[in-house]
């Protein structure tokens, strides 16, 4: 397929009722034309607000709490930082 064929497909034929078709094409274009299934899954997850909120909550409730309790990290609102200075 050439770009001249792709553009009408995107603008006239592709169903935009859900994000998955345009997101797949966008992720492939952003990756230079090819991507692994794992890379595509990351692109999809990055756009899935409900999954992002779920993961944020899991980090906050489980991972962050345990590590903060041991004094390794601290958090102030949405910002989380490691307590060890000059970490490389």
Q: What is the pLDDT of residue 32?
A: 94
Angle at 27 between CA 55 and CA 37, to 5 degrees: 70
- Kindly report, residue by residue over 15-66, the tens digit of the pLDDT: 776 678 888 889 999 999 999 999 999 999 988 889 899 999 998 888 888 8
Q: What is the pLDDT of residue 33?
A: 93
Using a 10 angstrom Cβ sphere, with 0-12 exposed, 13-18 middle and 19 or more buried, the burial of residue 26 is middle
Q: What is the pLDDT of residue 35?
A: 96
Answering whether pTM is above 0.85, one says no
Q: Which range scores top for mean pLDDT: 3-12, 29-38, 77-86?
A: 29-38
Nearest-angstrom CA–CA distance, 68 and 71: 5
CA distances from 46 to 28, 29, 42, 49, 53 (A): 14, 16, 6, 8, 11
Domain ranges of the chain: 1-47, 49-88
């Amino acid at each position: 397929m050439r770009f001249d064929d792709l553009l009408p497909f995107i603008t006239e034929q592709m169903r935009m009722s859900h994000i998955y078709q345009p997101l797949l094409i966008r992720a492939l274009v952003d990756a230079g034309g090819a991507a692994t299934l794992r890379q595509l899954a990351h692109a999809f997850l990055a756009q899935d607000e409900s999954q992002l909120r779920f993961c944020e909550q899991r980090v906050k409730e489980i991972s962050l709490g345990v590590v903060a309790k041991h004094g390794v990290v601290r958090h102030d609102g949405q910002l989380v930082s490691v307590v060890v200075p000059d970490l490389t």
